[in-house]
Amino acid sequence: MMFAKLNRWLGLALVISVAFWLVGGPASKFLAQAQDCSVSFSLSPSKGTAQPGGTTQFTIMGTAQQGACNWIFTPTFSPDNDISMTFDPSSAVISPGQTVTSQATVSVGANTPPGIYELSIVITLVKQSPPGYFPEPQPPVTKIFTLQVGPGGRPDLRVNPSSIDFGTVNVGQSAQRQLTISNFGQADLFVNSVTIQGGPSSVFSLGVVFTGFTLRPNQAATITIFCSPRASGTFQDNLIIRSNDPAKSTMAVPLRCSGISPFDFDLTVTPGSQSVVAGASTSYTVRVTLRSGTAQSVQLSVSGLPLGAGRTFSPSSVTPSESSTLTISTTSGTAPGRYDFTVSGSGGGRTKNASATLIVRDNFDFSLSASPTLRQVEAGRSVSYDVTATLLSGQAQPVTLTVTGLPRDVRTSFSASTVVPRPSGATSSLRIDTGTTTPAGIYEMTISGTSLGGIETGGTVIRTTRITLTVQQTFVISGFKFEDLNGNGIWDKDREQGLDGWKITLQGPGGPRETTTKDGGRFEFMVTRPTSGEDKYTLSEESRAGWVQTAPQCSNRAAGSCTVTRTVRPADATNVDEGPVLFGNQRAQLPPIIILGCEFRDLNRNGQRDLGEPGLHLWEISLTGPESGKTITDITGCFMFTVQTSGVYTVAEEHRQGWVPTTPTSVTVKVPEAVPELIWFGNDVDP
């Protein structure tokens, strides 16, 4: 009767409202000033059960397609059996595209007879109008909720387990657990909704969206809950179950989950490349570093090595962060080349790879040679050999050079005592310095090249070559040629100079030899000492016109130039120092020799004096040589010098500003051999 009365009152209110609209306000406000509102409604669920004295719930959802309006919920019942209904909220404003929900609670009286009741919900819509206009009612919408009132008894909601702990779950992964919802009561259990209290932001979620379901007595249903942590930490929430169980209309199931970073690791191999000769071994360091999560054992393996190569890990498995040593052993038959291999680490459901390179080389070998292989040296002098180490195979290694089999009083040195062989050869110069007492003879010597690079294959590589050295004992006969200015046969070094370019001849064992004085008149001959007895050598100088020999002194000077004798004995014999050989010469006095010349103006600048070209008066002419002097050209432009000493002279003209020479400005004259008839100097005025 109460709801019937309420319906009659609302109908009356509606009539009154309509009547008010008909009589109130200007005529222009009768017109709709806003778009009609259109709202679609649904009930979830549309059916429910309850026991006498109990309740049940459902959700009303409204979505506006167009227009904005107010809505009001009005329940109607036929017949009135002590059933009531409340709405939260009971009215709402809805805009286009918006969805609004209201929770409806149905309460059944204790004396309500069992049975099925259709409950009508009338939804009154009032269109929103612009300011200054009256709201305009819209056609009402009616929805039906079917209610079953049980014959007696109540539903009993129970869950198993009562709480869910997911334990630890890797970040970025998901774990799932099952929850059983059972009805242990004597009436139907209607589960209105199953939701996560934290909503979409929670790490917990349901596999499906539950819109309501019914469980008969002793019936059960299983749902799946997921935990998907997005970060490390402990997360808690509740699973909310709403039903018609009068004692447990809202049940919370605690949820717990610990997010941890998943196990991950990095794998590296160092060094990235190793080189080894065939038959040798090498090693790498394999480092496994914990990246995240809880460390787990990682098993190591390797692939891509040459056929027959051995491999061992020590240890074969590690727990990050730890290292293992990978040893690779090749055989003498391992083919040379580059091998890119892969080290793999597997553990905790993950596999990581790292690459490295093994380069297998040929066994190291080289050859050793010397050039020349035969040399001859005079005792007290030095000689050199070029020693070359050439790479034959493998990776070049340092080679140390030594020499054995030397005679006494000999010193040796290499320009580089250690060389690294190359395919084109690496050369070091071996210098052998003999002493003055080094015994004469023929010596066979051995040059050795030793490389410890053979340790890679368990040994030292040694290569040799032989050379021959012939040592001769020698004696130096030396002397000087000087200009004896005062003719006394004695070299007065403070004022008498050496003469270069004079030929000196040595006669003795081995035949005649010649040399020419140089470096201030010096000369020398290297002769071989006799092994016994003594050898005689005679020295003589060339005879040159215009010169008179003054040293050495001898009785037959008139018959020719005097000679000097030197005696050479064995090195271990008693030798008398006879001193250097001296040859002195003085320039011979000549009859007066005239050097003539003329200075002229070369008008056509052709370097010759032509008819009509005048002489140049008062030009200075100089003479340098064994005799020297200066003179001035006469009125005809000519000049004259008179000399009596043989030798080389230079005649030169002065350089005068404003004039350009057209002939050489100096002339060389050799007296008495080559004296020109006339010397010409040409000049012309510089324009």
Instruction: Give 318-377 pLDDT, tens digit per residue.
Output: 999 999 999 999 988 888 889 999 999 999 889 999 999 999 888 888 999 999 999 988
pLDDT at residue 77, rounded to an integer: 55
pTM: 0.36
Spatial CB neighbours of 648, under 8 Å, sequence gap ≥ 6: 625, 626, 668, 669, 670, 671
CATH number at residue 350: 2.60.40.10
**Edge-to-edge strands of the sheet including 547-551?**
522-528, 474-483, 581-587, 547-551
**Confidence band for 152, pLDDT divided at 50, 70 and 90:** low
Domain count, the chain: 6
Provide, rounded to the nearest whole percent, the portion of the chain with pLDDT above 70: 89
Question: Cα(102)–Cα(86) distance, rounded to whole angstroms?
Answer: 10
- Which range of residues forms the domain containing residue 127? 2-149
pLDDT-based confidence at residue 675 (cuts at 50, 70, 90): confident
Mean pLDDT of 177-197: 91
CA distance 336 to 479: 67
> Is 207 found in the same domain as 79?
no
Question: What's the pLDDT at 266?
Answer: 96
Same-domain pairing of 307 and 351: yes
- pLDDT value of residue 16: 22
Mark which of 471, 506, 536 sits at the end of a domain: 471
Instruction: Check residue 188 and give its pLDDT.
Output: 87
- pLDDT, residue 579, reads 81
Judged against a pLDDT cut of 50, whether residue 559 lies above it is answered with no
Question: What pLDDT is recorded for position 35?
Answer: 64
Higher local confidence (pLDDT), 300 or 48 = 300
Q: In terms of domains, do 512 and 614 share one? A: no
| Whether residue 354 sits in one domain with residue 216 | no
Report residue 455's pLDDT band, with 50, 70 and 90 as the boundaries: very low
* Calpha distance 56→85 (Å, rounded): 10
- pLDDT confidence of residue 293: 82
489 and 607 belong to one structural domain: no
Distance CA(406)–CA(389), nearest Å, equals: 21
Q: What is the DSSP letter of 422?
A: B
Please tell me whether residues 58 and 144 are part of one structural domain. yes
Considering the domain architecture, whether residues 576 and 480 belong to the same structural domain is answered as yes
Shared domain check, 215 and 285: no
Say if residue 501 is in the same domain as residue 565: yes
Q: Is the preceding omega at residue 89 within 30 degrees of 0, hence cis?
A: yes
What is the per-residue pLDDT for 75? 65
Q: Is the dihedral of CA 374, 377, 379, 384 positive or negative?
A: negative
674 CB neighbour count, 10 Å cutoff: 9
467 and 478 in a common domain: no
What percent of the chain stands above pLDDT 90? 50
Q: What CA–CA distances, in Å, run from 333 to 80, 314, 329, 393?
A: 104, 25, 12, 15
CA 404 – CA 466 distance, rounded (Å): 10
For residue 131, cis peptide bond before it (omega within 30 degrees of 0): no
pLDDT of residue 297: 96
Number of CB atoms found within 10 A of residue 522's CB:
15
pLDDT tens, residue by residue, 488-546 = 889 988 888 999 999 999 999 988 999 999 999 999 998 888 878 899 999 999 988 77
End of a domain among 115, 149, 183?
Answer: 149
Note whether 20 and 122 are same-domain residues: yes
In terms of DSSP bridges, do strands 115-127 and 69-76 run parallel, antiparallel, or are they unpaired? antiparallel
Is residue 195 within 8 A of residue 57, CB to CB? The reply is no
| Residues 149/118, Cβ–Cβ less than 8 Å | no
**Same domain as 175, residue 66:** no
Q: What is the mean pLDDT of residues 68-76?
A: 67
Res. 177 pLDDT band, cuts 50 70 90: very high
Given 149, 181, 208, which residue is the final one in a domain?
Answer: 149
